[in-house]
Amino acid sequence: MILAKLGIRNFWLQRQRNLFALSAIAIGVTGLICIGGYIDRWEHTLRTDTIYMRGQGMVSIYRKNGWLMSRSLPKKFSLTRSDQDKIYAIIEKLPGVERVGSVLNGSGLISNGCHSQPFEIRGYDLAVDQWMRERPIVKKWCANSLRFIRGQSFATTAPGPLIGIATGLAGLIGKSAVKALTSSAGPLTSLTEYCSGPGAAARIAEDSNVQLMAMTASGHFNATDADIAHVFSTGSKVNEDTQLTAPLSLVQDLLQTDRVSSVAIYLEDFRRTDAVARDLRERLSQAGLSYDVHVWNERKLSPMYSGLMNFLHAMSLFCTLLIGSVVVLAVVNLTTMNVLQRSREMGTLKAMGFGSGALVQIFFVEAAVLGVLGCLIGTGIAKVLAIGIGHAGIHFTPPGSSVAQDFLIVPDVLTIFEVVVFVLALVALSAAATAWALGRRSCLDLLTHSA
């Protein structure tokens, strides 16, 4: 107890000098929490986008190699109606499943009646899409992606064959109108006049109707008319010129099949993803069924999530090492100055029977007080900054993104705890090591040393 009192007393006596080290620690904690909060924000956003906005679910079931080949060879690598029934029967026995949906991917050509562009299309259950858009977690973390550039969701648009089109692809085929906003047009009397006559560009832009052409699952050619229900952004410039979405029934009609590319499972708790995937593999194996089971964060399924999170973690590691070095140098410098200035006091204590370990404890307590205060101040500043930035409404467009994002810092409790523990450990170890190295000198050396 006396050693703790001495440490606290020394901290107060050296408060002016300690102020500089305290500032370094507080700024370091603020920086680390803000970096962690920025990474937490993107972790939540990318995870929610991958699972819900892209219709991938927490766990996906494919035919063998279907995740790679179902688009190019749908008849061989997609799930038949019989496959789907077997899979759904097993999923019903899994605990913690919140929702199940089917996804059918395809490709083909989209035409405005005058020229065509290649597309990739994703068909999904309308009920699952509507459920996803109402989920609080999606509204919180994917608000920008959830909004349509123009138009409305399939469920709120007038009935008929409907598609959603990415902004880049809409621009390539000259379409700007959606079904709800389409102006009335007279009957088409001449394709040449429609495509190249006076006002052709405006006429095409105001017409929401498009034609979709694709090879069916059996290898035949098929085409269908559809109206644009909404224009959306994919969030990635790489996919902006090719992506379509549509109700599952329309894509199945276009490809002339009742098959699906995958079955997506949505869980009540995403943290149980790996456990549910293992359980599902075991159940499928016991039933003699051979399907591929993938989880949402696999690199081959979610390259955008994996790549961006790896980059952010690498950046975080570099910043942590840099800030940690500054904190260590500040504490080592402070402890060294304190030991040298109070060398006669330390010598007197040694002469009274206190060992080197006891002397280290005094400086350890002093550093602990310094570290705790610095962490409290830094955490408070970080929280104020996070709230202020959140209310400021700052927007920016990340590299490779096709849509502006809100600049947010959202540190969770675990991040703050990890930062505080890390900084306290650095402060305590730095002070203890420095005090031990300097405090091992003899009693005579300490008493005769002049600061």
Q: What is the largest CA-CA distance in the chain?
A: 110
Question: From CA 32, how far away is CA 374, in angstroms rounded?
Answer: 13
Distance CA(345)–CA(363), nearest Å, equals 13
User: What pLDDT score was predicted for residue 1?
Assistant: 55
How much is the pTM? 0.83
Mention every residue, 6+ apart, whose C-beta is less than 8 A from residue 429: none
Whether 240 contacts 402, CB under 8 Å: yes
**Distance (Å, rounded) from C-alpha 378 to C-alpha 351?**
40
pLDDT for 160 equals 83
Q: Is the pLDDT of residue 444 over 80?
A: no
Q: What is the mean pLDDT of residues 101-114?
A: 93
Q: How far is CA 284 from CA 91, 276, 279, 288, 289, in A?
A: 10, 12, 9, 6, 5
Q: Identify the three-state secondary structure at position 243.
A: strand
Mean pLDDT of 203-231: 92
Mean pLDDT of 272-281: 95
Domain limits, the chain: 2-47+306-448, 57-295
As a whole number of angstroms, the distance between CA 257 and CA 169 comes to 26
User: What is the pLDDT at residue 227?
Assistant: 94
What was the pLDDT predicted at 274?
Answer: 94
Give residue 177's Cα distance to chain centre.
32
Average pLDDT of the residues in 227-245: 90
DSSP 184-227: P-PPP--HHHHHHSTTHHHHHHT--EEEEEEE-TTS-EEEEEEE
Residue 235 CB neighbours (<10 A): 24
Q: What is the pLDDT of residue 14?
A: 64
What is the pLDDT averaged over residues 135-151?
88
- At residue 75, the 3 state secondary structure works out as helix
Name the helix (H) or strand (E) containing 326: helix 303-341
Q: Is the separation of the CB atoms in 70 and 61 below 8 Å?
A: no
